[in-house]
Structure 1
Amino acid sequence: MPQHHRCDRRPSPAARSIGFAPFALAERTAEVVDVQTRANLPSPHERDLRARLIAERAQNPAVRAVGAFREERLVGFAFGAPLDPGWWWADEVLLQVRSHAELALRDEPFVVLELHVLPGLQRLGLGTSLMERLCGSSTQPWALLTRKSSAVEAGRFYTSLGFADVPGPGMAGGRFRAMVSALPLAPGSVRRAGRGGAVLPAVTGR
């Protein structure tokens, strides 16, 4: 499943030296892997797996990436792409999402695949800025991401941007949850719907 590290909500004066710009993922793969590794502290085996996956993603011309830079150094990034049915987890995610009438007939979503910020620069609003820029580049009417079910604080962060958990048991035996949001992002743009008062975004189809 795509991975996301918790970032913070609003820009801070301490982040004023940070600039944001799109970048070619294939040209900065090593830097991206370094930021992800320092943010997540994966095992060596997991790091190698993630590095191969990022290199593979970099070959997809549909992938868009946005970076946070201090001078020329990459200190945070987000990348995503329109959903590709060939991704190994796509069927399971779509099965859960399409089980809800409000999302069943929507166009394919833009998928936020990765979001990471260096630990020393978290809680400064970089994650919010990266998400707004990445999702703002999409022509899809809605966005989708997955997160670990145990990542409660990451869930709160995405909820603050307007994402909502898709009700249901989750994926991979409940270890991951899907979240969805209308685009463009509008923090707080959720409404009550469905079973048990579950929250889903008001997604407008094209």
Structure 2
Amino acid sequence: ENTAYLVTDMLRGVIMRGTGRGATIDRPVAGKTGTSSDNTNAWFVGYTPDLLASVWIGNDAQRIPIEIDGNPIGSGTAARIWASFMKKALVNTAPSDFPAPSGITPGVEICANSGALSTVYCPEIKYETYLAGTEPTESCILHQPSMTFPNYDEPDPVFPDENLNPESFNQPEVNQNQPSSNVKRKRQVIVRICSESGMLATENCPQSQVMTEIFTEGEEPQEKCNVH
């Protein structure tokens, strides 16, 4: 049961961000596209918690590629046909989600690059489902805190006597084109923001609306998104 749920979770990704986007309807969907290498067959097999259906496009003569006006037909077309059918077939059925069995840990926020638990420094995150006890436990070390940046709005230090020459103190020559090393520095922080609310993003915010921004420490938003 747990394995079946994990497979369903992966197949939901085919519709959400893969080759089966054309099968998107008004409810949770899982499925898989398929196209033969010689483009003589195209499939989409998909299901909701209530109904499973499959679509095949092809010719009885397997040597003939499937195309319209010379344009090849792929599994994306099969996915759109499937969606059209399912919308009508389920019009009187209330949407429902795939029930998670016990022993499943859903919605673990991880770094899309390292696969470890995400931190505020990870530029891209995603949410994954695991068998309980197999989820990552260590935070991402691939992305580190940003370096501090000079605040160039601060004035350069001024010598108390304008006639004093720094060279008289056997100091190295000062490059006037470089900012002073004594410039006050402010720490920068990287924060994930929900673009719709402008607040701190949560796991409920759509991934397409989560963006990463850099703030001077203390000026970043403090409240979590209350829209999603």
Q: TM-score range by the shorter chain?
A: under 0.3
Give the TM-score normalised by structure 1: 0.23
Structure showing greater Rg = 2
| Higher normalized contact order (CA 8 Å, seq sep 6+, divided by chain length) | 1
